Structure 1
Amino acid sequence: MALSLQCLGGAGTVTGSRHLLDGKSQRILVGCGLFQGLKAMRERILAPFPTPPKSIGRVVLTHAHLDHSGYLPRLIRDGYRGEVLCTPATADLCRILLRDAAHLQEREAEQANRYGYSKHHPALPLYTVQEAERSLLALASQAAGVERDLGGGVHLRFARAGHILGAATARFRLEARTVVFSGDLGRYDDAVMLDPEPVRDADYLVLESTYGDRVHERTDPAEALFAVVERTIGRGGTVVIPAFAVGRAQQILHHLWRLKAAGRLGLVPIFLDSPMAIDATDLLARHADEHRLSKDGCGATCAVAQYVRTVEGSKALSANAMPKIIISASGMASGGRVLHHIKAFGGDRRNTLLFTGFQAVGTRGAKLVAGAREIKMFGQWWPIRAAAVHLSMLSAHADAEEILRWLSAFEAPPRETFIVHGEPAASEALRDRISRQLGWRCTVAEPFRRYELAA
């Protein structure tokens, strides 16, 4: 019986995860993400989907981040008619993320047309708010730890992966094979999220490698954050934190609450300037089984910042010279309100731009962390004199050692492990490390190549 794996995205890059399981009984797309970063990657967003959307039987999401879910409205607009399986928390987060992504795309297209800085005439959003709303109707929740019969001899079971609310590892039983997709694995002993749950067996494993060539610093994240804030506030500056609205923003709020509770931040005001992040923070209480925080700790974490919901409030924040902490999406400075804050505060040496997560090659975040002294936003180049700091210990992604720790739970080696979702150097480093330390057969998956999964 023929069963194959084809990576339509998320291979050779850390974004755009789209992995196609093509079997006799049905075709399953695991991940439906957007590409980010280099221009060549961004342009792949606009290309026709590599396989006819109507030929796909089911879509399965491991978690809600846009590089795993953000293409969904377009896929449905172009003909996909099946359900989209994910955990309940992932469904809730997708309702926030996809609506926000569509709203931003509509607004950016309108601004590009108004000011004439797009090469497309007219500039159009990838999908509209109406199309995003339609895609949400396809979401179908499946709790972690429960195996579901998808028909045609296909069974699916989710296990918690840590990382963010709802993040899961997906385990398929189909056509006499077991195929596991790691999804994005979280950290062990994280202050907010639970450890990734172990997986015991797989015939084939599709494994992420975001930090496959790195080990995070073991410094206490709250201490590292405090050092940056203290230094910046001491010179009369503002700390601008571009943060992923889902996961990273809540983690940073928790560490700031810890510092506030210890009396170490004084009266420094903290602002969460992202309606999407505010809504995602509210979900902490609804999904209490997904994280470590107590009811009181969850409430205190959510209350540590002043919420800024309106555009007018965000503009007032940019115009305010008072030393403060601003947390705003997006994490790679690829769009959203944080760009206006970088424009307002990036040109002053007293200020700090603090990055806390992975910065894909070609993104503004990656350029700033690498020391760029000017950055292009809104069709213009803007000078950067503020300090750009990257705290890797605040990452929500497992590093190379933590990935190996997760793999150690397997009772026997998979027949083949496919390395995906990483920059080429990271994927190759992880492949080499798994081969040397575990003796497993590993392949760095190539984009669009079809791999036969033998029975």
Structure 2
Amino acid sequence: MLTLTSLGAAGTVTGSKHLLTHGNRNVLIDCGLFQGLKNLRELNWGSLSIPAREIDAIILTHAHLDHSGYLPRLVKDGFRGKIYATPATRDVAELILKDSGHLQEKDAEFLNRHKLSKHSPALPLYGVRDAEHALEHFSTVDFHQSITILDGLRFRFRRAGHILGAANVQIDWGGKRIVFSGDIGRYNHPLMPDPASIEEADYVVVESTYGNRLHDQGDPVEALGAITEKTVQRGGTLVIPSFAVGRAQELLYYFWKLKQAGRLSSVPIFLDSPMAIDATTLMSKHMQDHKLSENDAREAYKIARYTEDVEDSKAINNNPYPKVVISASGMATGGRILHHLKNYGPDIRNTILLAGFQAAGTRGRALRDGAKELKIHGMWVPINAEVAHIDTLSAHADANELIRWLSGFKNPPRKTFIVHGEPEASEGLRMRIGRELGWDSVVPRQDQEFIL
């Protein structure tokens, strides 16, 4: 008997963990952190419905924190199997997991130093050493390579677009074929390949981040140029909370295109995120995983001033002149971007540009919803800066693109499971799948088991 249980990303857009069980074997597809709302974040501290030591293997679709960020904790709790991922995903995961462990250690140290936690002492969910131990379990698998593990489970990665190394995964096990979409990227993206089509599956597990929404079809280069020029003309600074992997490299590419066109020639651009700087370097290491030529990658990514150390980061905020600051994290949940929001948020001349999905419970979502103040480092910071957003910059397929990807299957699957979306988005996609494709689909609940 083959069963599917979603241990995360069920009724929410975060914490992706999907468990396949056949006989006494258990395989987890993705192993992400819950982020955003406090009640979701607290789930990271609870026990999974299956002990870590009973999970035999993990197959990772990509390295974003909401898909990989729980791995160090799982290893810490007793997981001893292999973690299968594409080579680029493994390299990106090294950046993301070490950074996550470092930030959690710093947060715990801050809470203890200022006695701000009810726990004594406050502890991180995991630290850098735990992340390093998790990385020892990785085993890389190339795209389109068919691999057999455990008791006859065969799987294959295909390109999903989205970010460097991202994949959807086809699994054949127990006489059934299950396809996990991972996070599906955009079609005709300037940097990432189109999501690969799959023709046959008995079951499909599909993300629904934008399951009920369509992206703006405008030109992102023109939109970015207009917002930047408007900010600079009033003497302000453009601050962009950015995902370090994927979004930061896309933004640099668009700013390069603007400078090629003779715009923003005198406006300095700062990339203030060590992880984003390292991720940009990985673009050159994994040339086969994106569309840029070697020359274009080199030229596009040298337009920014990279700030590696903290003193250089602080110097940006002492610079009174108009500029662009790209800094992580993308939803303003932590990292250096918080210092820039504290510094630039109160001034009406500045602009905060939201350039991606903002999950519920994050500072980015609060800004998107019109918040006039943000709580940062225990202080309420007034937000008088203009808040803008460009939806065309999303790395996720919108509702039409999700339907386009699903339409690549020649025959309807027996059932489609809709995950990784806020309730309205998942339900919106479920209704469209039924109306337009005529498929049977369901939105799983947390820990709900399905017999396949």
- The TM-score, its normalising length taken from structure 1, stands at 0.98
Higher mean C-alpha displacement, 158-167 vs 283-292: 283-292
- 1:44 paired to 2:40: no
Once residues 262 and 24 of structure 2 are traced to their aligned partners in structure 1, the CA distance between those partners, rounded to angstroms, is 60
Deviation at 1:115, TM superposition (A): 2.0
Letter in 1 for 2:288: D
- What is the percentage of aligned positions where both structures have the same residue? 54
1:76 aligns with 2:64: no
Measured in 2, the distance between the counterparts of 1:239 and 1:175 equals 53
1:318 is displaced (CA, Å) by 1.7
**Counterparts of 2:48 and 2:391, CA distance in 1:** 34
- Number of matched pairs: 452
Residue in 1 that maps onto 2:391: 392
Q: Which whole-Å CA distance do the structure 2 matches of 1:419 and 1:231 have between them?
A: 40
SS in 1 for 2:349: coil
Structure 1 residue 25 displacement after superposition = 5.5
Q: Distance in 2 between matches of 1:352 and 1:21?
A: 46
- In structure 2, runs of 5+ residues without a counterpart are none
Partners of 1:50 and 1:374 in 2: how far apart? 39
Following superposition of structure 1 onto structure 2, how do residues 259-408 of structure 1 map, counting pairs within 5 Å?
259-408=258-407
The CA distance in 2 between the partners of 1:404 and 1:200, in whole Å, is 14
Give 1:29's aligned residue. 28
User: Greater CA deviation, 120-129 or 273-282?
Assistant: 120-129
Code of the residue aligned with 2:120 in structure 1: it is H
CA distance in 1, matches of 2:433, 2:221: 32
* C-alpha distance after superposition, 1:249-286 (max 9, x if no partner): 00011000000111111210000000000000001111
Corresponding letter in the other structure for 2:323: K
1:151 aligns with 2:146: no
Letter in 2 for 1:186: G
- Asked whether the 8 Å contact 1:144–1:160 carries over to 2, the reply is yes
Q: Secondary structure, in 3 states, of the residue corresponding to 1:303?
A: coil
Distance, in Å, in 2 between the alignment partners of 1:49 and 1:452 is: 19
User: Aligned equivalents of 1:390 and 1:260: distance in 2?
Assistant: 21
Contact 1:25 1:152 (C-alpha < 8 Å) held by counterparts: no
Question: Per the alignment, in what secondary structure is the counterpart of residue 185 of structure 1?
Answer: coil
* Residue number in structure 1 paired with 2:203: 204
Alignment-mate amino acid for residue 348 of structure 2: R
The range that moved more, 359-368 or 19-28, is 19-28
Residue 116 of structure 1 deviates from its aligned partner by: 2.6
Residue identity opposite 1:215 in structure 2: L
Shift of 1:151: 3.0
In structure 2, the residue matched to 1:130 is 129
Distance 2:396 2:339 in 1: 27
Report the Cα distance in structure 2 between the residues aligned to 1:123 and 1:325, rounded to whole angstroms. 36
How big is the shift at 1:49? 2.5
Q: What are the superposed Cα offsets for residues 275-322 of structure 1, whole Å, 9 maximum, x if unpaired?
A: 000000001111111111011111011101000000111111122221
Aligned to 2:107: 108
SS in 2 for 1:397: coil
Instruction: Output the aligned Cα RMSD.
Output: 0.8
How many Å apart are 1:47 and its aligned residue? 1.2
Question: 1:120: Cα distance to partner?
Answer: 2.6
> What is the rounded CA distance, in whole Å, between the counterparts of 1:272 and 1:265 in structure 2?
16
Residue 252 of structure 1: aligned partner: 251
Q: Distance in 1 between matches of 2:25 and 2:236?
A: 56
Cα shift at 1:388: 1.3
SS in 2 for 1:101: helix
Q: What residue number does 1:238 align with?
A: 237
Q: What does residue 52 of structure 2 align with?
A: 53
Cα distance in 1 for residues equivalent to 2:71 and 2:296:
34
Does the Cα contact within 8 Å between 1:229 and 1:239 map onto a contact in 2? yes
- Determine the structure 1 residue equivalent to 2:440: 441
1: distance between equivalents of 2:400 and 2:16?
A: 23
Alpha-carbon separation, structure 2, partners of 1:344 and 1:126: 29
Q: Is 1:179 equivalent to 2:200 in the alignment? A: no
Gaps of 5+ in 1: none
